[in-house]
């Protein structure tokens, strides 16, 4: 009975140790995929790396390697053990600096000294027996404390205590309840892995690490370490993040459920089914692959079902249900232009198949401008023909009455049907005219049967709904382009009011910030303003209205901030104009031509790309460069 219990505890210990490695590696990768420019994110990655190395070596020795390898891995384990105290102090220093108390040099020198001391302990453990020495008991190799181990223990305690005090100081500098709570979580959670990594087995007698009481204690401590690692991930995820709190929590919850949790379930299945002699009549090794696949699939399905409920309960407990549902479903309900064009092409293809013609097309008519939105077949009308006939087509088709029957007109070699919105109406309560759908004419006169006319009407209604959605979503995108850059509530901004100001704190200038972290946001502001050059929230609600250059331009623009901002943008665009006669196809003129045609003349992307002989991907790349050039010009003028 005792042997069975010992075997179970030993297997549990191996499982929990492997689980610790999985979670530590997962959190390390999660940290590396986030903002490594943040010091807390970098230093916490060092802590997680130490834990990963130490516990990975524990897992490796449980696989029963050769005696020499076993001995080498036990010494290699000290990479994590030796550097953990220095890493903990480094993390506490970063947390203290985040709250407004950066090191004036003393803590930085102490941190470097601790890393140097840790390197000395690593060398002592790896190449000598003065720190730990190998002993053999019942065929197993263990490490026992050497003469230098007491000094390492003192070093471990001093460094850990100092780190704890630093985090306490950081906690006291927090101004909000949430930040104080997160710092308290860190204070408790960060010490647990440290205690879990300390080599207590070096203080035990020969063979005692394999006793019943020791295995129970080790299993309990491993469970606590796992829980604390997960607990540690929560407050650390807020540092270095530029997105709101709810997004941070959602990302972390999704990552934990789909990453570490999936890996742990697969690991548990492998460990407990592989050694089994028979499972459901199959050998354990044969059953394991099916069990792992089944568990992963079922778990992912369960996460898909439970994640919305968990998000609502854990992240949005006090949010209005209707508002939350609209925010969460926005990406599902709104399609891209390419999605809608593909849907329209599918409608046209079905129309061609049913009516036995080889060409069908849909045209949007708006303010006398005709745009061929989608087309199927070789005999489609040209863009020039549509532009020349736009006014005539509008006059011919924009005659709306209450008759729901399809109205087919003959235009050149096509039969065309007007399209009207079923969502938006004119002031006289008639639907707004959208454009028309056309097919290649089968004869000089319309000779569709009643069934074909009804089906053509169905295709026309579907096309009208698609073009109506396309126009509506274009307005949504235009509004978002102007509004999203104005929303600046990020974790970085929140941190400015969550902690006390440091001893050298200076008021920040919110008008112009040419630093690397602010330049991207400034370029987005300029992009939104250019998109709404002739009116829109990107211009009228822009944060660029606050910059010095706009204030200086107010007297010249009747003290109208919007006109002053437009004048600043115009001056920056003109600054990109080369000398000499304007040429549309000259590379030197490309930047200026894009800015002038796209934003000042307000032409569509396709029109500008065609006039400049550019492909659309190439146009977007050069447009990005052009917008950045305007932003840099405004920044340069703002500093002068």
pLDDT tens figures, 359-386: 999 998 876 678 888 899 888 888 788 8
> For the chain, where do the domains classified as CATH 3.30.450.40 start and end?
337-472
Asked whether residue 117 carries a pLDDT value surpassing 70, the answer given is: yes
pTM of the model: 0.63
What percent helix, strand, coil does the chain show, rounded to 5? 65, 10, 25
Q: What is the pLDDT of residue 487?
A: 62
Question: Cα separation of 90 and 93, whole Å?
Answer: 5
Q: Nearest 5°: phi and psi at 581?
A: -75, 140
Asked whether residue 207 carries a pLDDT value surpassing 60, the answer given is: no
Judged by DSSP in three states, 239 sits in coil
For 278-333, the pLDDT digits (tens) are 666 677 778 888 889 999 999 999 999 998 888 877 777 665 556 666 666 666 66
Q: What is the pLDDT of residue 162?
A: 92
Asked whether residue 123 carries a pLDDT value surpassing 70, the answer given is: yes
**Cβ(131)–Cβ(81) under 8 Å?**
no
Q: What is the pLDDT of residue 208?
A: 62
Asked whether residue 506 carries a pLDDT value surpassing 50, the answer given is: no
Instruction: Provide the 8-state DSSP code for 198.
Output: S
Question: Cα separation of 228 and 323, whole Å?
Answer: 34
Q: How confident is the model at residue 510 (pLDDT cuts 50, 70, 90)?
A: very low
**Topology (CATH level 3) of domain 2-241:** Rhopdopsin 7-helix transmembrane proteins (1.20.1070)
Asked whether residue 444 carries a pLDDT value surpassing 50, the answer given is: yes
Asked whether residue 579 carries a pLDDT value surpassing 60, the answer given is: yes
Burial group, residue 338, by CB count within 10 angstroms (0-12, 13-18, 19+): exposed
Average pLDDT over residues 235-239: 78
> For the chain, where do the domains classified as CATH 1.20.1070.10 start and end?
2-241
List Cβ neighbours of 76 (8 Å cut-off, separation of 6 or more).
Answer: 53, 57, 126
Q: What is the DSSP string of 494-550?
A: HHHHHBPPPTT--PPPSS---SHHHHHHHHHHHHHHHHTTTSSHHHHT-GGGGSHHH
Instruction: Provide the 8-state DSSP code for 174.
Output: B
Q: Nearest 5°: phi and psi at 50?
A: -60, -45
Burial group, residue 531, by CB count within 10 angstroms (0-12, 13-18, 19+): buried
| Range 337-472 has CATH code 3.30.450.40 | yes
Give, to the nearest 10 degrees, the angle between helix 39-61 and helix 67-76: 160
Question: Cα separation of 352 and 452, whole Å?
Answer: 11
Asked whether residue 612 carries a pLDDT value surpassing 60, the answer given is: yes
Average pLDDT over residues 351-361: 91
Average pLDDT over residues 590-610: 88
Average pLDDT over residues 257-272: 88
Highest mean pLDDT pick, 8-17, 19-28, 268-277, 503-512: 19-28
Q: Nearest 5°: phi and psi at 620?
A: -65, -35
Average pLDDT over residues 261-285: 79
Q: What is the pLDDT of residue 512?
A: 41
Please state, as a whole number, how many other Cβ atoms lie within 10 Å of the Cβ of residue 443.
9
**Cβ(376)–Cβ(477) under 8 Å?**
no
List Cβ neighbours of 163 (8 Å cut-off, separation of 6 or more).
Answer: 85, 88, 89, 91, 92, 190, 191
């Amino acid at each position: 009975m005792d042997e069975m219990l010992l075997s179970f505890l030993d297997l549990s210990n191996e499982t929990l140790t492997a689980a610790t490695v999985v979670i530590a590696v997962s959190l390390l990768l999660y940290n590396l995929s986030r903002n490594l420019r943040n010091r807390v994110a970098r230093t916490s990655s060092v802590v997680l790396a130490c834990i990963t190395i130490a516990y990975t070596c524990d897992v490796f020795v449980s696989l029963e390697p050769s005696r020499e390898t076993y001995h080498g891995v036990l010494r290699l384990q000290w990479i994590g053990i030796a550097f953990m105290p220095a890493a903990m102090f480094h993390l506490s220093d970063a947390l203290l600096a985040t709250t407004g108390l950066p090191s004036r040099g003393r803590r930085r020198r102490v941190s470097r000294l601790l890393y140097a001391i840790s390197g000395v302990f690593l060398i002592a453990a790896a190449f000598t027996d003065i720190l730990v020495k190998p002993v053999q008991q019942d065929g197993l190799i263990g490490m026992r404390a050497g003469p230098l181990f007491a000094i390492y223990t003192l070093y471990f305690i001093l460094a850990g205590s100092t780190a704890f005090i630093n985090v306490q100081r950081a906690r006291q500098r927090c101004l909000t309840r949430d930040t104080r709570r997160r710092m308290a979580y860190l204070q408790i959670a960060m010490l647990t892995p440290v205690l879990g990594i300390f080599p207590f087995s070096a203080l035990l007698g020969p063979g005692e690490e394999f006793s019943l009481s020791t295995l129970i204690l080790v299993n309990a401590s491993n469970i606590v370490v796992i829980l604390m690692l997960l607990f540690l991930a929560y407050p650390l995820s807020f540092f270095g993040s530029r997105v709101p709190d709810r997004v941070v929590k959602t990302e972390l919850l999704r990552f934990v459920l789909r990453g570490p949790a999936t890996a742990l379930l697969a690991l548990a299945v492998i460990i407990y089914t592989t050694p089994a002699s028979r499972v459901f009549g199959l050998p354990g090794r044969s059953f394991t692959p099916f069990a792992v696949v089944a568990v992963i699939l079922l778990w992912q399905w369960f996460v898909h079902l439970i994640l919305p409920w968990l998000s609502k309960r854990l992240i949005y407990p006090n949010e209005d249900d209707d508002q939350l549902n609209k925010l969460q479903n926005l990406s599902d309900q709104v399609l891209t232009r390419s999605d809608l064009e593909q849907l329209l092409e599918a409608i046209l293809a079905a129309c061609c198949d049913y009516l036995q013609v080889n060409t069908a097309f849909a045209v949007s008519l708006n303010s006398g401008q005709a745009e061929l939105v989608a087309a199927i077949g070789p005999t489609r009308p040209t863009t020039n023909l549509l532009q020349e006939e736009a006014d005539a087509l509008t006059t011919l088709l924009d005659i709306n009455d209450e008759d729901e029957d399809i109205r087919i007109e003959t235009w050149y070699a096509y039969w065309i049907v007007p399209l009207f919105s079923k969502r938006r109406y004119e002031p006289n309560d008639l639907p707004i005219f959208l454009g028309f759908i056309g097919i290649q004419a089968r004869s000089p006169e319309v000779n569709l049967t009643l069934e074909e006319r009804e089906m053509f009407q169905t295709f026309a209604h579907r096309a009208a709904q698609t073009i109506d959605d396309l126009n509506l979503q274009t307005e949504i995108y235009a509004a978002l382009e102007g509004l999203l850059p104005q929303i600046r509530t990020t974790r970085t901004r929140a941190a400015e009011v969550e902690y006390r100001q440091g001893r050298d704190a200076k008021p920040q200038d919110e008008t112009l910030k040419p630093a690397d972290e602010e330049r991207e946001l400034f370029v987005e502001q300029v992009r939104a303003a250019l998109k709404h050059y002739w009116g829109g929230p990107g211009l009228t609600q822009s944060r660029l209205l606050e910059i010095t250059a706009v204030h200086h331009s107010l007297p010249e623009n009747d003290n109208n901030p919007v006109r002053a901002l437009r004048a600043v943008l115009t001056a920056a665009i003109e600054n990109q104009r080369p000398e000499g006669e304007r040429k549309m196809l000259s590379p030197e003129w490309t930047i200026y031509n894009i800015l002038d045609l796209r934003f000042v003349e307000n032409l569509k992307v396709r029109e500008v790309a065609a006039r400049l002989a550019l492909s659309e991907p190439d146009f977007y790349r050069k447009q990005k460069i052009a917008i950045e050039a305007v932003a840099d010009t405004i920044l340069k003028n703002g500093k002068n």
